[in-house]
Structure 1
């Protein structure tokens, strides 16, 4: 028996989520349609609102509903430090650790030549403009300790080393192959405090 086309489309749409395969997508679709239609409606409306209202912050590239996100608009933050992270979830983890009061730049990914993700795909051109604005004095690279995160960190360090900026990398208190989003705040804070100069 074949599913109705609208059910197949829903299942297919749910499979775009990370870690969701065909069986999980099917279970989610059945749950939303049979057990939680109000939740399905909230989800659909929230996605519509997010797609309509969210854009990228002009300075740090994270998601925002305004030209400047609330962190970039906060005058009390240290304007001379710029911490580079891969994803907005990494920025949130650093904020929860309460170990950093500077500003951020969110790459929205990491270099991965195998997957065809190059410098333009992770906003390195926008990062260079931001880092070389004449205000930033130190760039802290806080990409993940995965192979792709290390390649990304190396490329950024090479681009910035000769531009008069202090460039550091968070310390390896982070587990090798680990991602910031999943690390406890104490480990993350220690890694930031023990960052090392690059180059």
Structure 2
């Protein structure tokens, strides 16, 4: 095996920890970092540090933000009576690309998965229920992926919310079963929003 300098090996190992990145891809990224100018490398490192120290969860919707309350939650022009419930911040980005949704969001930061030890207490479900207490919310759109975990999470939340008199709908999937929302094109995602059904 060829000798690799220890700092380079550590960089390769760090890249390899990222999901979907194997040893070969991690090695390519590490060498790319080494080919950067010192200035570019410092900016890259600073961007990672800033993301970790300056980004936090919005105290209302749990999406990532620099501020206490994110730009969507603080926007008076949005329809605050409709909440689109998603698994991750990446899903918010996907929906915002469609420009078809003018409501607000709630990010669960995961899905129920008893097999993996992920329970309701580990998700941001309590924070969602707290948002429903003032009676302003009229509809929850369950926009979790059409996987076993996504469906189970949607049904679990629907059962908790129904007694509160809030309408709970589910995306109409023109998406293939088992696919991820974040990879859907804007037209398909916009259509699934428009044609959502009640749970």
State the TM-score, normalizing by the size of structure 2.
0.92
Q: Per-residue displacement from partner, 1:86-117 (whole Å, max 9, x unpaired)?
A: 11121111111111111110112222222222
**Post-superposition offset of 1:152:** 1.3
- Aligned partners of 2:56, 2:13: CA distance in 1, in Å? 25
**Post-superposition offset of 1:16:** 2.3
Pairing 1:60-79 to 2, within 5 Å after superposition: 60-79=61-80
- Aligned partners of 1:88, 1:167: CA distance in 2, in Å? 21
- Aligned partners of 2:147, 2:135: CA distance in 1, in Å? 31
- Aligned partners of 1:115, 1:41: CA distance in 2, in Å? 38
Matched, 1:117 2:118: yes
Aligned Cα root-mean-square deviation (Å): 1.6
Pairing 1:1-199 to 2, within 5 Å after superposition: 2-35=3-36, 37-198=38-199
Tell me the number of residue pairs that the alignment of Structure 1 and Structure 2 aligns.
198
Tell which deviates more after alignment, 56-65 or 88-97. 88-97
**Post-superposition offset of 1:2:** 4.8
Describe the SS at the equivalent of 2:174: coil
List gaps (5 residues or longer) in structure 2.
none
- Aligned partners of 2:125, 2:148: CA distance in 1, in Å? 18
List gaps (5 residues or longer) in structure 1.
none
Q: Per-residue displacement from partner, 1:14-56 (whole Å, max 9, x unpaired)?
A: 1222201122112211221135654432221101111111111
